[in-house]
Structure 1
Amino acid sequence: MANSNLPRRIIKETQRLLSEPAPGISASPSEENMRYFNVMILGPTQSPYEGGVFKLELFLPEEYPMAAPKVRFLTKIYHPNIDKLGRICLDILKDKWSPALQIRTVLLRYSCFWYLYGFAD
């Protein structure tokens, strides 16, 4: 990781994401700006999204970890909790955000989002 201007916490979290990837999730920082992550999540089995590969972008604002990451789907997807710009209504990115949460936590929440917010509704 070449970006020496990054806070140590972001560097450590990025190293963990790369060395211990979460199941069904691929996340790698952009070479141009290590605050941007390219994310791919596999659609869950036994769901309308099974077999799909969903691209997302995750951005860590300057205020991170005091402010939540910004995340949106780049892959067009129909889901009642995702708007037309790919933004998801997820509590931990809004009023439930805590600096104790990490990038990995957010990605894991996205990977189980399908189950938390019911695609059958």
Structure 2
Amino acid sequence: MSQAGAAQRPLKEFNKLKTKPVDGCTVDLVGDDIKHWKIIIGGPSGTPYEGGKFEFDCVLPENYPFNPPKFTAKTRVYHPNFDAEGGICLEVLKADGWKPTLNLEAVIIAIQELMKNPNTASPLDADAAEAYVNDRSKFDKTAREYTKKHAK
């Protein structure tokens, strides 16, 4: 991909996600910066996050798409792979897991999938991971409470 192509890519991705959004999601720019996005992801149905609206801050690095975007959860999520500071443990957001052929739509879908199927082998919140594995009803109850309190 040429430098010119890379420079146009954020605008192309943004326009695509505005006209054909991922189900349950919205994207907006922060100010007028094409490399700073506000993304709202609806809680996946059939999960304790259902009905919630989860806000994410997305900053594209100068060398995007050659390096991954920086995603931060602005909405508190009780989940094994999210921490209290908004960190997200997701392979596609890591330098060694990102590929320039991926895009922000793929990241949004991966976050939705992570919300449905936590990776308890690589937790950021060990207590949430332990509850998910050992006491699923307690985990679901706490996750629903967080969703009601933080994501409405």
Q: How far 1:116 sits from its partner (Å)?
A: 3.0
For 2:35, the equivalent position in structure 1 comes to 35
1:80-121 Cα deviation digits (max 9, x unpaired): 111121110000111210000011111111122112316843
More helix by share: 2
RMSD of equivalent CA atoms = 1.7
Provide the rounded CA distance (Å) in 1 between the counterparts of 2:93 and 2:12.
21
- Structure 1 or 2, whichever has the larger Rg, is 2
Where 1:112 maps in the other structure, the secondary structure is: helix
Q: Determine if the alignment matches structure 1 residue 109 to structure 2 residue 139.
A: no
Provide the rounded CA distance (Å) in 2 between the counterparts of 1:13 and 1:38.
14
> How many pairs align?
116
Provide the rounded CA distance (Å) in 2 between the counterparts of 1:84 and 1:46.
24
Q: Is the 8 A contact 1:30 1:37 kept in 2?
A: yes
User: Which letter maps to 2:69?
Assistant: P
User: Which letter maps to 1:29?
Assistant: L
Q: How far 1:49 sits from its partner (Å)?
A: 1.2
User: Which letter maps to 2:107?
Assistant: V
Larger relative contact order, structure 1 or 2 (CA cutoff 8 Å, min sep 6): 2
Identity of aligned residues (%): 34
Q: Which runs of 5+ in 2 are unaligned?
A: 1-5, 120-128, 134-152
For 1:22-101, list aligned pairs within 5 A. Answer: 22-94=22-94, 95-101=96-102
For 1:3, the equivalent position in structure 2 comes to none
Where 2:89 maps in the other structure, the secondary structure is: coil
Where 1:34 maps in the other structure, the secondary structure is: strand
Deviates further, 18-27 or 44-53? 44-53
